[in-house]
Structure 1
Amino acid sequence: MEPKPVTGRLVRFSVRMKRRTQRIRRPPHDRYLYLLILPGLLYFLLYKYLPMLGLVMSFQDYSPFLGFWDSPWVGWKHFRTMFAEPEALRVILNTLEISFLQILFAFPLPIILAIMINEVRLTLYKRLIQSLVYLPHFLSWVVVVGIFVVFLKSDGIVNNLLKMASIQPIPFLTSPEWFKPLIVFQVIWKESGWGTILILAALAGVNPQLYEAAVMDGANRWQQIWHITLPAIRSTIVILLILRLGSVMDTGFEQIFLMLNPFTMEVGNVLDTYVYFKGIQQGDISFATAVGMFKGVVGLILVVIANRLARKYGEGGIY
């Protein structure tokens, strides 16, 4: 018996491809629009998809002298090693803890900040606030960490103020207990202002007549925010959360690497820095590739699960 469902899918696929080809062959202006997409497609092809061929190293004991074809295959050896080593498990837990702390504290703040900015009625004052909160985003992590070091080192400004208040100085930079709060606070200070851009754009699309009707019904500002503003930007918040979950295993190499020291290595070593130490410093390229592949797979699974949950509860999702 012929597999009719498969045949039907092939026919539908061929029809869709034929229609797309016909659209590309339409009058010249349509072809020019497709040409505008070409640079972006080439970028993703060259810098995102072709490098994925290197993932084959995670299943080999890769040697640069032997290359991809002659390096011995070891199957799942590096993945088993990753889950068997106590150090690797500790690094995974550190990564998850820092990432979820950022989601818990740093993710909601741009939303709150955008709503507060949107409530400002004086345009000049609103633009001034926007400019001030955007500025830290344009500083590199080297500059940001340098500022925090100047303020928080043992003879820095904060500890000198504590001494003047007869309070014992606090070893902020060498204390394991302070490492993760400092990381989260740095992310909040640097990125919260920049994160308000999409939220403010979503708020600009809210129909003003909804607020006028709410005022006529006697709603105060808090009730308007709760019943109009937040529901209006809910889909944008859901999409941003789904995208953020996709990078849950990525805490940022530069910031963590610059903040690490021998005293905080146990609580601060994450997958990004672990890959650097293993792959670059120790030359274990295959193991580092396996760790990187693990990060990508976890991110993909979280995005798919979050997207399905969003669609199940009535949101659009990202696909």
Structure 2
Amino acid sequence: MRVRTTMRRFLKAAGAALVAVCLIAAPTAAEAPAARPGVPLRDLGAVDFALALLASVPHPDRSPAGADDFTCRPSAAHPYPVVLVHGTIENAYENWSALAPLLKSAGYCVFALNYGETKPHAVLKAVGPVPRSARQLAAYVDKVRAATRAAKVDLVGHSQGGGLMPQWYLRFGGGAAKVHRLVGINPSSHGTTLLGLIHLVDAVVDVAGRAGKPLGLDSPAIKDQTVGSPVVRRLYARGDTEPGVIYTNIVTRTDFVVTPYTHQFLTPGPGAVVHNILLQDVCPLDLTGHLGSPWDPNVHQLVLNALDPAHAEPVRCAVMPIPA
């Protein structure tokens, strides 16, 4: 009994420390730019995910610059609209304010949904059950296809948005017939151990209380993405892929959220094509981590190359020295 009590105290202390680190690492509201609807994030001075998240607080449902023009018609050069799918405890504006305008300037019709809310207009989204979020993605893809008159779309997602959730849609929601490519940036494929600390989540919520729950640490989405969860077991029971879909997985060795990082790679099944890319094989000095990857110019070029391999360009390999 004494050992159990000591272990419980240790887990609580470690959980509290983890929450404290997360809160200290985030910029204060005073450091955040003054967000205004319709103003590109780069014009506000936000250059990373933390500032982008804070900038989204006044308008958490808004679209990133370049996205959600439902009058857009795909060109012959880029016939598939691109649907951007954000990650867990994120939102579309925070996740895609760098990549969305880049894709738009490259000639794509770009769309970015918000999904997985447990409360309307929440800043931190994608916290609901993965199967329910997959149904929201299915409805959004149908809306995009109807508006653009495109037979299929390309999905580009981060974390949950490039991993379990769209893969669930492809397998159980009829998505394989409506999706041409799935490009995952640090996808949560096969679930995560969170560096072996996943079971600290309960302790974090228990200790942090008010802090843990708003951060989504007790959310169904995190539980669904845990290694060995019922969602993970059912999704991969008959392989990783669906016929007819082209999968690209852009993975960084310094990902400390979806761990081990090798879980993010997929094995192609019949009729599917898989490209597994380790970022450090392309750019050895790029140490970008899980949250920073959607803001990484090296990752941006890899996404552009995945969407249009016939016109792929070499990655110039900007040095990204700090994992984030």
Structure ID, larger Rg: 1
Report the TM-score range of the alignment, normalised by the length of the smaller protein.
Answer: under 0.3
TM-score by length of 1: 0.25
Q: With structure 2 as the length reference, what TM-score do the two structures score?
A: 0.25
Q: By percentage of residues, which structure has more strand?
A: 2
Q: Which has the higher helix share?
A: 1
